[in-house]
């Protein structure tokens, strides 16, 4: 397990319980100067999941990013036990920092049931081994404070772009992308105590990492890494369809149907390597050109 993933699992996603429904989380030691949205959503899911019986699995989450988070300060997560029904359980989570709400999320959990079943097919895609690992590019010399340590960030994920990377200036200007992604190391068995929730939280973390790039590719040469635009997640929704392991390769198929009004909309689907659709994602984000 890579050091960044170990910190994510052992520290960042292992929240401190302050009260029955109040938890406290922190950011990694090496972070962006604004808390990564996937981290907040993942921690909020941990908080919600720890108030739900283990016989129920999360099937959806809907979150709103209200303020940028401070990576140097802890985040307090307050859980409202909205409903405990016979089949479904609903939780609402509020993330608070410096006395202000920075994120809200509703999450729904369901007791396993049998029912009708179908899924969209996975597009034919080359295996991940044929693509190099693509980490965050080096920090620009004129941005020494890009992270809390002033160094390039090491993500806890192994990410491999199929179509084009966000910093490839020769890429086709198309509002779509395919990305192979997995945790950078082996995670605990989903059958272990808290294991299923951990894999869900790691996928939630991953779902926010590359999705908005699809909305930027048609408009900015070099994408989000060009420095021409600033991006920020506004709202984020994930639906979990079938069991999966976040430490095995998942194909993240992404497309952007619309951009306008300073915002971009993007949707994504996660497939296992053998073509099983395990989760769907929709996100709208702020996209603003930087003033030179």
Catalytic residue numbers?
208, 233, 283
Per the CB < 8 A criterion, the answer to whether 176 and 223 are in contact is no
In angstroms, the CA 67 to CA 47 distance is 19
In angstroms, the CA 147 to CA 145 distance is 5
How many C-beta atoms surround the C-beta of residue 205 within 10 A? 26
Give the E-state strand segments of 169-249 in sequence order.
176-183, 229-240
Per the CB < 8 A criterion, the answer to whether 106 and 62 are in contact is yes
Strands, sheet with 16-19, edge to edge from the N-terminal-most edge strand: 16-19, 22-25, 75-84, 88-97, 100-110, 57-65, 229-240, 277-289, 263-272, 250-260, 176-183, 157-161
Instruction: Report the Cα 210 to chain-centroid distance in Å.
Output: 9
Alpha helices in 165-266 (DSSP H): 195-207, 213-216
Strand duo 229-240 + 176-183: pairing: unpaired
């Amino acid at each position: 397990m890579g050091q960044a993933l170990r910190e994510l699992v052992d520290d960042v996603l292992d929240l401190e319980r302050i009260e029955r429904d109040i938890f406290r989380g922190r950011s990694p030691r090496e972070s962006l100067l604004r808390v990564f949205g996937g981290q907040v959503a993942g921690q909020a899911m941990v908080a919600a999941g720890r108030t739900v019986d283990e016989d129920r699995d999360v099937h959806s989450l809907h979150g709103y990013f209200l303020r940028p988070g401070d990576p140097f300060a802890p985040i307090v997560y307050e859980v409202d036990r909205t409903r405990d029904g016979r089949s479904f359980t609903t939780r609402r989570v509020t993330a608070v920092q410096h006395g202000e709400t920075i994120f809200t999320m509703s999450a729904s959990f369901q007791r396993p049931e049998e029912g009708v079943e179908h899924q969209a097919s996975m597009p034919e895609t080359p295996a991940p081994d044929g693509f190099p690992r693509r980490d965050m590019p080096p920090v620009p010399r004129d941005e020494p404070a890009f992270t809390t340590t002033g160094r390039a960030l090491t993500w806890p994920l192994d990410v491999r772009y199929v179509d084009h990377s966000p910093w490839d200036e020769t890429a086709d200007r198309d509002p779509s992308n395919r990305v192979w992604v997995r945790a950078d190391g082996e995670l605990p068995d989903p059958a272990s105590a808290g294991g299923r929730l951990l894999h869900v939280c790691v996928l939630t973390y991953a779902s926010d990492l590359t999705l908005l790039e699809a909305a930027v590719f048609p408009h900015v040469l070099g994408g989000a890494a060009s420095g021409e635009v600033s991006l920020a997640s506004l709202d984020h929704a994930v639906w979990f369809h079938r069991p999966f392991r976040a430490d095995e390769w998942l194909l993240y198929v992404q497309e952007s149907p619309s951009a306008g009004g300073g915002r971009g909309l993007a949707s994504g689907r996660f497939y296992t390597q053998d073509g099983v659709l395990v989760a769907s994602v929709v996100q709208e984000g702020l996209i603003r050109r930087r003033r030179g």
